[in-house]
Structure 1
Amino acid sequence: MPNPLAPAWLTEPQDPNALAPSVWSRNSRRNDAGELEIAGIRATELVERFGTPVYVVDEADARARAAEIHAAFTGEFGRVGTTASVYYAGKAFLCTEVARWMTAAGLNIDVASGGELAVALAAGVDPARLGFHGNNKSHGEIDRAVRVGIGTIILDSESEIGVVAEAAARHGVRQRVRLRVNSGVHASTHEFLATAREDQKFGIPLADVPELVTRIRATDSLDFMGLHSHIGSQIFDTAGFVEAARRLFRVTAELLEGGPVPELNLGGGFGIAYTSADDAPDVRDIARSMADIVATEAAALGVPLPHIAVEPGRSIIGPSTTTLYTVGTIKPVLVSEVDGDPAERIYVSVDGGMSDNIRTALYGADYSARIVSRSSDADPALVRVAGKHCESGDIVVDAEYLPRDVHSGDVLGVPATGAYCWSLASNYNYLTRPPVVAVSDGEARLIVRGETEDDLLARDMGVQR
């Protein structure tokens, strides 16, 4: 009988060892001994070499997803008579190796800070292939971006027009810019992930766009490339993208009366499966739907088809990565706040937590988990995977069924942790941030070194040296 403490979406599995293909990276499997292998490398071998917690990136999976998204959008928009660019949203996870994987697959890269810009440049990415986002770019960040030859700066506020114009004039260039607009489309996602609502920090209201575009066009050091929209993240349906495209095309038609609008950036935010209950959209279906609506709206308004850009991040890197932890304390808890007899939930504590994955605490995000150092014949039991931090909200996986014999020393795998886990990591309780390891064809290599306690102490100026 299902545990009454389990959420409605979570069904008790027949086999608590099974790996849902939609959630785990494409090259993840259990070997004959019942242990997880990622790209041919055993989980226990990775733990022996790199310790836990550790983020393990299935490199071939990440590269393949990048190539597939590039092919889907260029192909579908080519079908309707225009061209398309795909920008990898670096905020999801960025390091020099990932930047190189993305550009090798034909993608450009979006950065949203001076630090992300520095990483992309250190990776050898051509600055012309970069877009620079952010609602509060500093004057120094803007100056550096213009100086190195950034491809496009996305203007997020009226005040940025003058700042970018002055930097471009100072460096003797004509800077390409897009204007981020707040379409007012309310994406079906978490409140904090919906980025096109009227009452939030990003973008320009649609009503203000014509006046600001006139100002941009009148500025000799700026080159107006078009509009940019981003309606949110972890979106499972295309209705929001369709409506945003309709609204942007109406404004585009008005702007064409004063000059060209060569590009339209429809953003990203395509959802992925974090649990077996998630029905994430196929990127090919998203690309087809977006291409069809763009073609339809352009024809209805009698305007030329612009070049289209999109900005996926999570849908490329998210499913490729698994975080490995070592299990510590096991604590069965009886909960009486349900009808009938008390029900049991088992707290499984691991050696990481909200410092390496804050999304559960921040967004109430759901994740999956499996014991990956072995398989088990034990019956499934409802567990909550907790971290080791001094917070009751320090939860990694809120609800999952694991074999009842889960015990200290087991290696636990949490899949789909490639996006917004490492990039949001912290040193809370002075935990060190974990390493990132890429695995491919039976080989593993470190792509981001994990921190040490010496790294943390090196910043403390009270330490005697």
Structure 2
Amino acid sequence: MATPYESGCDPVSPNRNLAPVSAELDDQGRLMVGGCRLSELAERYGTPLYVLDEQSIRASAQEYREALKRHYPGDSLAVYASKAHSSLALTGLVASEGLGLDAVSAGELLTAFDGGMPPERMVLHGNNKSVEELALAYSHGVMVVADNQHDLDCLAELVPKGGAPVRLMLRFTPGIECHTHEYIRTGHLDSKFGFDPDQLQPVLTALAGCAWARVEGLHAHIGSQIFELDPHRDLAAVMADALKLARELGHPVRDLNVGGGLGIRYVESDDPPSIDAWVKVVAEAVTLACRERGLELPRLMCEPGRSLVASSGVTVYTVGARKVVPGIRTYVSVDGGMSDNPRPITYQSLYTACLADRPLATADETITLAGKHCESGDVLLKDLPFPTCRSGEVLVVLATGAYNLSMSSNYNRIPRPAAVLVHQGEAELIQRREQPEDLLRYDLMPDRLRSLK
């Protein structure tokens, strides 16, 4: 079993470690995060429970900010991709660290506004934005990332005559592929996201005469959970060519947004580059590409999501049923699963697990860690070397700070878990646990069906 203490990684570098920065053992060998014992949090708040480490999030945000300053000679801004985990608390944290925020819906916009994120540090993404979402972004001065002609047509109707022009960033597909999961590979040409490269010149030409639009940026993104660095060098050259074209056509483009995609360590065999190494490659590549083309350096933007928050989070479960299929498999079930972590069944994602109060226990059997949902595929970890555990023990799955809470569901009418933020021995509730009766809030019963009781 991989544990947080056998990874051989620098413990102060969250994106290279399996556990949060603050993870440690108490004097009885029990796992603590943010100065809080995880089994005690399970008892206090119930399980499943999302636990987020404030120290880890701040450390990652500071690493991005400082690496950009160190390696890029121009202005820069890291923009948190809030789809990884959108909440008031997370918004407040990243805003206080000087980062911006990327939203993809009205819900994420409103969360960011209420969480204290300055609109001028925000961008709105999406391949099928509604008129209401565009209007909300425009009314607050949020930069809109135009993904297609539909966005531009809606905005042309939306902006009042004589009104302030909408701040635009054009997204295009750079035609660069990465060796990652097909479902999250967005930089190649066959993608629902962005203008095709051959559309860029006619779109920029058409926008040059539009009083309602001000093209201030260009955006491209090549994928997610990426460990490779070379594709980012290729991306810089493609984007610098686009920047040169846009400026030649008279657009005041000052922002070059290279997206996100840096991977993190989910299991011991994963070997992602550090935040500093990733930023260094991107910054140097953009600087070189612009100088080779005689371009004034743009403001360099990037959109970290997973690499900012994934390693900060753990999910705490309670062990329940055990089933032994002789000669085939041993199933150990927990009180959550695909409704609080859909990534294993969706992406075949791998994770690391341990017992909260026996994190360094020796693995003495192989189990399949199953969820409680009525799906054979609801498996969190398959063929996992693990210490024999008993019903009622608290089990921890690491690196669940991204795409777990934000992708959670009510499948099988199971309420969503609570979430707590831990820091310096204090735990604060940042999301209440749903109750079964909450799931009936939006249901309506036609009167004609009531009469059939």
The CA deviation at 1:377 is: 5.3
| 1:214 maps onto 2:214 in alignment | no
For residue 183 of structure 2, what is the amino acid of its counterpart?
Answer: F
**Secondary structure of 2:218's aligned partner:** strand
Q: Identity over the aligned pairs, expressed in percent? A: 38
**Secondary structure of 2:369's aligned partner:** strand
Matches within 5 A, 1:231-250: 231-250=222-241
| 1:65 maps onto 2:56 in alignment | no
Matches within 5 A, 1:216-231: 216-231=207-222
**Residue deviations 1:7-63, cap 9 Å, x none?**
xxxxx66xx785645111011122222211111111121011110000000111111
The CA deviation at 1:201 is: 0.7
Pick one of 416, 420, 425 that aligns with 1:433.
416
Pick one of 30, 37, 41 that aligns with 1:35.
30
The CA deviation at 1:462 is: 2.7
Work out the CA distance in 2 between the residues paired with 1:258 and 1:282.
Answer: 37
Matches within 5 A, 1:439-454: 439-454=422-437
Partner of 2:179: 188
Matches within 5 A, 1:21-420: 22-78=17-73, 82-150=74-142, 152-169=143-160, 172-259=163-250, 260-334=252-326, 342=327, 345-374=329-358, 379-403=363-387, 405-420=388-403
Work out the CA distance in 2 between the residues paired with 1:357 and 1:444.
Answer: 22
**Residue deviations 1:97-125, cap 9 Å, x none?**
11011011110011000000010111132
For residue 191 of structure 2, what is the amino acid of its counterpart?
Answer: Q
Structure 2 CA distance for partners of 1:427 and 1:224, relative to 1, 3 Å: same
- Quick check: 298-307 or 89-98, which moved more? 298-307
2:21–2:56: 8 Å Cα contact kept in structure 1? Answer: yes
Work out the CA distance in 2 between the residues paired with 1:155 and 1:183.
Answer: 15
- Quick check: 423-432 or 118-127, which moved more? 118-127
**Secondary structure of 1:256's aligned partner:** helix
Work out the CA distance in 2 between the residues paired with 1:87 and 1:205.
Answer: 24
The CA deviation at 1:366 is: 0.4
TM-score (norm 1): 0.90
Work out the CA distance in 1 between the residues paired with 2:368 and 2:4.
Answer: 16
| 1:423 maps onto 2:418 in alignment | no
The CA deviation at 1:457 is: 1.6
1:241–1:290: 8 Å Cα contact kept in structure 2? Answer: yes
For residue 371 of structure 2, what is the amino acid of its counterpart?
Answer: G
**Residue deviations 1:169-217, cap 9 Å, x none?**
2682111101000011112210011011222210001111011011222
1:189–1:234: 8 Å Cα contact kept in structure 2? Answer: yes
**Secondary structure of 2:159's aligned partner:** helix
**Residue deviations 1:119-152, cap 9 Å, x none?**
01111322222100000000111112111222x1
For residue 409 of structure 1, what is the amino acid of its counterpart?
Answer: G
Work out the CA distance in 2 between the residues paired with 1:65 and 1:17.
Answer: 18
Give the alignment's Cα RMSD to 1 decimal. Answer: 1.9
- Quick check: 139-148 or 48-57, which moved more? 139-148
For residue 327 of structure 1, what is the amino acid of its counterpart?
Answer: V
**Residue deviations 1:81-103, cap 9 Å, x none?**
x1111100000001111101101
2:167–2:216: 8 Å Cα contact kept in structure 1? Answer: yes
The CA deviation at 1:244 is: 1.4
2:165–2:211: 8 Å Cα contact kept in structure 1? Answer: yes
**Secondary structure of 2:83's aligned partner:** coil
TM-score (norm 2): 0.93
**Secondary structure of 1:328's aligned partner:** strand
- Quick check: 105-114 or 211-220, which moved more? 211-220
1:180–1:227: 8 Å Cα contact kept in structure 2? Answer: yes
Work out the CA distance in 1 between the residues paired with 2:186 and 2:395.
Answer: 34
Work out the CA distance in 2 between the residues paired with 1:306 and 1:411.
Answer: 50
Structure 2 CA distance for partners of 1:121 and 1:248, relative to 1, 3 Å: same
For residue 123 of structure 1, what is the amino acid of its counterpart?
Answer: G
Work out the CA distance in 2 between the residues paired with 1:379 and 1:282.
Answer: 30
Count, aligned residues: 439
2:233–2:285: 8 Å Cα contact kept in structure 1? Answer: yes
**Secondary structure of 1:182's aligned partner:** coil
Work out the CA distance in 1 between the residues paired with 2:271 and 2:65.
Answer: 22
The CA deviation at 1:357 is: 0.3
1:188–1:235: 8 Å Cα contact kept in structure 2? Answer: yes
Structure 2 CA distance for partners of 1:422 and 1:171, relative to 1, 3 Å: farther
Work out the CA distance in 1 between the residues paired with 2:165 and 2:228.
Answer: 38
The CA deviation at 1:429 is: 0.4
- Quick check: 186-195 or 29-38, which moved more? 29-38
| 1:457 maps onto 2:401 in alignment | no
Work out the CA distance in 2 between the residues paired with 1:122 and 1:373.
Answer: 37
- Quick check: 344-353 or 419-428, which moved more? 344-353
For residue 422 of structure 1, what is the amino acid of its counterpart?
Answer: L
2:363–2:385: 8 Å Cα contact kept in structure 1? Answer: no
Q: Which runs of 4+ in 1 moved over 6 A?
A: none
2:146–2:170: 8 Å Cα contact kept in structure 1? Answer: yes
Work out the CA distance in 1 between the residues paired with 2:256 and 2:114.
Answer: 29
